[in-house]
Amino acid sequence: MTAAEEIREIGICGATATGKSALAILLAERLGGEIVSCDSMQIYKGMDIGTAKPTREELARVPHHMIGFLDPGTAYSCAQYVQDAQKVIDDIKSRGKIPIVCGGTGLYLESIYYRNRFSDSDISPTEASAKRDELLSYAREFGNDALHRRLRDIDPEAAAAIHPSNTRRVARAIEIYETTGVTKTEWDKKSRNGEHVNMTVIMLQYKERASQQRAIKVRCRKMIEDGLEHEVRELYNAGLITNGKTAGQAIGYKEFIPYFSGMESVRAAQDKFFHATCRYAKHQETWFRHKEYVNRIYVDDVISGKLTMEEVADMAAAMYSEKRDGDGGSKQPDAE
C-alpha cells in the first residue's frame, strides 16, 4: 500500500444550516486537509449566495475544489461528479494532504464512499428530485395503491417491506430504480456488502426540530440580507435559470421565478424559500438515517450558543483519530 492509499479521507454531511462548511475548514486547518465540495448546486458559476458557497475569506484559509466550474443550466450527473471528484481526491492524497469531502448532496458523498457504484447513472440530483415530485403527484391522482403496484412490478421485495400508505418511501424506492437502474433491494445489499474507501464520515444533526428550523431561519434571512434576490434576478434575466433547466430547480432560486414573472409577491417567494429549505433538510436527514457508516454529532447547542464549532471540531477530530487507530465502532456523542 502506498503512502497516499494509507491516508484516511473525511466525509462531512448533514442537513443545511448544521455547520458542515465551518467544521470542514476547522478540520482542514488542524489536520492538513483540502475540501472537496459534494454539493450539487455549488458546482455552478454565479450561484453563490443561494448555495452558501465559501466566502473569499474562507477560500483563502483552505483550498476548496469542485466549486463554481459550470455554467448554470448545464446538466451534470452523479457519474460525472464521481469521475471528476475522484481525480481531485487522488491529487490531494498524492501531496500528502487529507481530502475532506463536504456537502449536503447525499448521493454524491455515498457514491464516493462506495467507490463509484452508481457511476452508470446519468441522472442529476435535481432531476431525481423532479422524479420524486412526479411520483408523489401520480399517487395523489391515481391513489397510493396504484403507485405501490408500480414498485411491486420492478422491486417486489421492497414493495413487500413498504406499506402502500407510506407514499414517500414507495416513491423513493421507485426513484432509486428509475434514476440509477438499480432496485432499492439491490442498492441496500450493495450498501451492506460493497467495498468502500478508507473514510470517516461525520454527520452534523439537530435532535430537536425547533433548533433546526431556528438555524434555517437565520440562514435564510442572512442570504436575503446578503442579496439573494439580486443574485437570482441577474441569473433569471440572463435566461440561465428557468423551470426547465437544472439550476432552476435549486432551492433559493426556483421560489423567486413566480415573483419575477409577476405571479406572486416577494414575501410569498421568501416564505416559499424558507419552507422549501426545511423540507429539503428533512430529506437530507432521511437519506442518512440508517447509514451504518455515519458518525453523528448533535449540534443543537451551537445555535443556542452553549457549544462552539471549535468544540464540535474537537469531537470530529477525535472520531477521525479513533478510526485511524483501528476502532471501527460508530461514535455518536451527544453535544447537549
Which tops the pLDDT comparison, 312 or 108?
A: 312
Residue 244 exposed, middle or buried by CB count within 10 Å (0-12, 13-18, 19+): exposed
Contact 99, 33 (CB under 8 A): yes
Question: Distance (Å, rounded) from C-alpha 99 to C-alpha 199?
Answer: 9
3-12, 58-67, 192-201, 325-334: least confidently modelled range: 325-334
pLDDT value for 121 = 43
- pTM flag (> 0.85): no
Question: Distance (Å, rounded) from C-alpha 214 to C-alpha 11?
Answer: 25
Which tops the pLDDT comparison, 269 or 79?
A: 269
Kindly indicate the confidence band of residue 163, based on its pLDDT and cuts at 50, 70 and 90. Answer: confident
On the question of pLDDT at 328 being above 50, the answer is no
